[in-house]
Amino acid sequence: MTAPNTPNNVLSGRTLSAEIITNDLRPRVEALQAKGITPKLVVVLIGDHAASASYVRQKEKSAAKAGIVSEVWRYEETVTEAEILQVIEKINRDESIHGVIVQLPVPDHISVPAILKAIDPAKDVDGFTPDNVGKLFQGEECLACCTPQGIMHLVRASGVEVSGAHAVVVGRSNIVGKPVAGLLLNANATVTICHSRTRDLSHHTRQADILVVAVGRPNFVTAEHVREGAVVIDVGIHRTEAGKLTGDVDYDSVSPRAKCITPVPGGVGPMTVVSLIQNTIIAAERLAEGKASQ
Ligand code: GUN
């Protein structure tokens, strides 16, 4: 796809993710199934965080559409870190499981770094383990984080030439800001990372050909931050007091300036999910290749 995939300038993750499932992922799953392999994803879900439960349902739905198996392994809020580490060990050893994620956030008594270090990097379909993060920043083949990969799909679908473009990322989290900066750099963009301590934010954001906003604050980026003709990717999702979903970008003021802009909902969210399915398929393909060459 080379142009915004809906009329006007809306860059729809809903449309793009459905196309990727149909045109790329399903045929790859069918090819694996012909060799007797069905990719399988396990989601470890701890406690009853409402947003996590909703994300996990979306992951199950997309997995079914792509033809892969997904299981949600649920644990009480009181489960210990040692018990979760044992669960991960079991998953690491189980050859029928190709990918695992531990849905975040986890309760405070469980250490996220300890959990991530325990996951076999070959099954780390979130791309969160030190091994995969290190490879991403060395420009090596890896399982890359899902939201950043989803953003790269959207940026490519916008038709903008990434190589040589100036990409400005607002936000420096480990799961979005830093890895998306790495992927953009690997694609030869010039990358600026801004964050809460950046002085004169709009001076930087107005330079952006590609503006990625992941700050976790509703309607934070407004028209004054955006250059005419920029591709704007909004990673945020918030529910307003009126019950409406909104992003980190003030859509109504920014949209008229943008070459294209992702909506909320229906922008980055579905692309994160499709990237998780894609990573699970890659993990299964690699295992199949490894077995074939043994
Ligand atoms: N919680 C919010 N986003 C994510 C994600 O991409 N992966 C996991 N494991 N948890 C999340």
Average of per-residue pLDDT across 245-271: 98
Average of per-residue pLDDT across 264-271: 98
Count CA atoms closer than 13 A to 171's CA, side-chain side. 23
Q: Which atom of ligand 1 is nearest to the CA of 175?
A: 6
What are the pLDDT digits (tens) for 144-177?
999 999 999 999 999 999 999 999 999 999 999 9
The ligand 1 site (C-beta within 6 Å) comprises: 101-104, 126, 146-147, 175, 272
Name the residue at shortest CA distance from atom 11 of ligand 1.
104
Delineate the domains of the chain, giving CATH numbers in brackets.
Answer: 36-120 (3.40.50.10860), 146-269 (3.40.50.720)
In whole numbers, what is the pLDDT of the chain averaged over residues?
96
104 CA → ligand 1 middle, Å? 5
Residue 104: what pLDDT? 95
Percent of the chain with pLDDT over 70: 97
Average of per-residue pLDDT across 131-141: 97
Total-model pTM: 0.95
Name the residue at shortest CA distance from atom 2 of ligand 1.
104
Residue of 43, 58, 146, 175 best suited for mutating to test ligand 1, as the one with most atoms within 8 Å of CB: 175
Is the model's pLDDT at 106 over the cut of 80? yes
Name the residue at shortest CA distance from atom 3 of ligand 1.
104
Q: Which residues are catalytic?
A: 59, 103, 126
Distance between the two ends of the chain, CA-based, in angstroms? 37
Determine the Cα–Cα distance for residues 107 and 77; give it in Å rounded to an integer.
7
Residue 46: what pLDDT? 98
Residue 294: what pLDDT? 61
Name the residue at shortest CA distance from atom 1 of ligand 1.
104
Q: Which atom of ligand 1 is nearest to the CA of 145?
A: 6
